[in-house]
């Protein structure tokens, strides 16, 4: 059999369809405990995406796969805003994301000149990097929103691709047809996507079609040139439970399904973005709808938040929804922090949100039967049986916090904690098996 002609192959999708297993596919296979052919076949079918800009690969990206049969990935959002613009704090968030096991970082900076930070981020982090060009357009072009042209938006998109960004959130699905549905059916929270709201405003003022939809083929050419995965943004995601799975969200997802096929035809990898806020009992149906309408493309969800009243604790409401969503087939969870709906998160918020989302993702991986997912839990159980505390820290998602809490409240009996002390069930059973009889008096003291 002749070797495939690789001269015109650029993207992971190009190579996969040609039957070629790339270094990135091998790296993903090793990380996921899968056969490389499993990864190649998944990429070729669009069930798996490997967001890996060719420039970021050259700078040290550690490729990760997102999709069916793989571990659930977790993204951390960060970036400056117009009110809080402290680059040092954002770099602290980057280091937190790297240290505690994030798979991706999205730079959502939306004020001023953001390119230097973005370029440095791509150079320095081995994690996948995502951005939203629409957020950057006003500052990059130094123009008011309504004066932005199609050429301006294409230029900003190209700049992000050239900088090495691995996946771009592009709000292509909010076209005039979807807006017509939005206006006819109405919503409690209207449009809560920042990018979607900006495009809605631009379209209403100019009277023109969404440029990312109208010039989608041009966007795809840029993505293909650098192997940027297009993450089709959910402009009409529900911002409250009342709007979940409504007509406009569904109308946009139908459009995203059409755009998915067009991207694949152009050799571009795709992810689909999802909600948002959603009642627990509707989450599985939402995932099934995405997989059906969008041809099993990887699903990237924010939460979903399962109640609207968890303000200040939305990392918990999102982790509940994330675990359910991922166990039903979602592939990529965007973290939510305690600061959601309130303010720009600080470094501690980032840690809290990341760990909560990592717990959700791991719990879902166990439920989905991802190869090797439960192995570390079994090791933790064995370490707990042996009261091997230092070993336990190595298995904990957050070893720093867990060790600090344990050491802050020292037990008087060696090997136990202050919850049970000498009445520790694990210690008691271990002593019995060792042939030691333990007698406790009424105060719980041993003889």
Q: What is the pLDDT of residues 186-218, one digit of tens each?
A: 999 999 999 999 999 999 999 999 999 999 999
* pLDDT score recorded for residue 142: 85
Separation between Cα atoms, residue 41 and residue 280, nearest integer Å:
33
Handedness of CA 120, 62, 357, 307 (dihedral sign): positive
**How many of the other CB atoms lie within 10 Å of CB of 416?**
17
Separation between Cα atoms, residue 326 and residue 323, nearest integer Å:
5
Separation between Cα atoms, residue 300 and residue 66, nearest integer Å:
9
DSSP-derived secondary structure for 198-228 = HHHHHHHHH-PPPHHHHTHHHHHHHHHHHTP
Residue (of 5, 7, 13, 4) closest to 224 by Cα position: 13
Strand, coil or helix: 130 = strand
Handedness of CA 394, 57, 295, 354 (dihedral sign): positive
* Torsion from C-alpha of 254, 259, 264, 267, nearest 10 degrees: -170
Separation between Cα atoms, residue 195 and residue 304, nearest integer Å:
18
* pLDDT score recorded for residue 443: 53
Cα distances from 250 to residues 29, 104, 137, in angstroms, run 34, 27, 28
What average pLDDT score do residues 77-94 get? 85
Separation between Cα atoms, residue 66 and residue 44, nearest integer Å:
13
* pLDDT score recorded for residue 114: 85
Q: What is the DSSP letter of 242?
A: G
pTM score: 0.94
* pLDDT score recorded for residue 436: 86
* pLDDT score recorded for residue 7: 67
**Percent of the chain at pLDDT above 70?**
96
- Convert the pLDDT of each residue in 331-356 to its tens digit: 999 999 999 999 999 999 999 999 99
437 versus 323: the higher-pLDDT residue is 323
Confidence tier at 177 by pLDDT (50, 70, 90): very high
Q: Is 326 in contact with 364 (CB distance < 8 Å)?
A: yes
* pLDDT score recorded for residue 447: 45
Cis peptide before 328 (omega within 30 of 0): no
**Percent of the chain at pLDDT above 90?**
87
Separation between Cα atoms, residue 296 and residue 302, nearest integer Å:
18
- Convert the pLDDT of each residue in 292-312 to its tens digit: 999 999 999 999 999 999 999
Confidence tier at 1 by pLDDT (50, 70, 90): very low
What average pLDDT score do residues 123-152 get? 93
Strand partners, 272: 232, 299
Domain ranges of the chain: 12-45, 49-368, 375-433
Site of tokens 């320095």: 124
What mean pLDDT is reported for the chain? 94
Strand, coil or helix: 385 = helix
Q: Is 105 in contact with 128 (CB distance < 8 Å)?
A: yes
The architecture of the domain spanning 49-368 is Alpha-Beta Barrel (3.20)
State the number of CA atoms in the 13 A half-sphere of 97 facing the CB: 31
What average pLDDT score do residues 239-267 get? 98
């Amino acid at each position: 059999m002749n070797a495939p002609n690789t001269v015109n192959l650029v993207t992971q999708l190009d190579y996969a369809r040609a039957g070629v297993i790339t270094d990135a596919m091998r790296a993903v296979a090793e990380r996921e405990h899968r056969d490389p052919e499993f990864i190649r076949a998944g990429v070729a079918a669009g069930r798996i995406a490997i967001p890996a800009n060719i420039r970021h690969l050259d700078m040290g990206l550690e490729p990760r796969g997102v999709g069916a049969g793989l571990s659930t990935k977790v993204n951390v959002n960060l970036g400056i805003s117009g009110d809080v613009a402290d680059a040092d704090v954002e770099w602290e968030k980057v280091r937190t994301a790297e240290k505690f096991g994030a798979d991706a970082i999205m730079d959502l900076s939306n004020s001023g000149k953001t390119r230097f930070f973005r370029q440095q981020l791509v150079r320095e982090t081995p994690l996948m990097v995502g951005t939203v060009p629409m957020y950057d357009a006003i500052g990059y072009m130094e123009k008011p929103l309504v004066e932005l042209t199609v050429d301006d938006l294409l230029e900003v998109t190209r700049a992000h691709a050239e900088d090495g960004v691995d996946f771009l959130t592009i709000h292509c699905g909010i076209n005039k047809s979807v807006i017509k549905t939005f206006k006819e059916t109405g919503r409690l929270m209207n449009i809560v996507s920042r990018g979607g709201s900006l495009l809605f405003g631009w379209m209403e003022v100019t009277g023109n079609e969404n440029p990312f939809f109208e010039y989608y083929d041009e966007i795809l050419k840029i993505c293909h040139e650098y192997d940027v995965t297009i993450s089709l943004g959910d402009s009409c995601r529900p911002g409250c439970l009342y709007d979940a799975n409504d007509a406009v969200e569904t109308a946009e997802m139908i459009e995203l399904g059409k755009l998915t096929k067009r991207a694949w035809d152009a050799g571009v990898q795709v992810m689909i973005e999802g909600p948002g806020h959603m009642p627990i009992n509707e989450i599985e149906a939402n995932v099934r709808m995405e997989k059906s309408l969008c041809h099993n493309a990887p699903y990237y969800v924010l939460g979903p938040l399962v109640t609207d009243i968890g303000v200040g604790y939305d990392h918990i409401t999102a982790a509940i929804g994330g675990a359910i969503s991922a166990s039903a087939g979602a592939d990529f969870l965007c973290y939510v922090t305690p600061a959601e709906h309130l303010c720009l998160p600080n470094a501690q918020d980032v840690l809290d949100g990341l760990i909560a989302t990592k717990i959700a993702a791991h719990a879902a991986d166990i439920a989905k039967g991802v190869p090797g997912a439960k192995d570390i839990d079994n090791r933790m159980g064995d370490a707990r049986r042996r009261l091997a505390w230092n070993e336990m820290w190595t298995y904990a998602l957050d070893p720093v916090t867990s060790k600090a809490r344990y050491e802050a409240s020292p037990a008087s009996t060696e090997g136990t904690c202050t919850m049970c002390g000498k009445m520790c069930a694990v210690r008691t059973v271990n002593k019995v098996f060792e042939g030691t009889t333990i007698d406790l008096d009424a105060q719980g003291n041993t003889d």
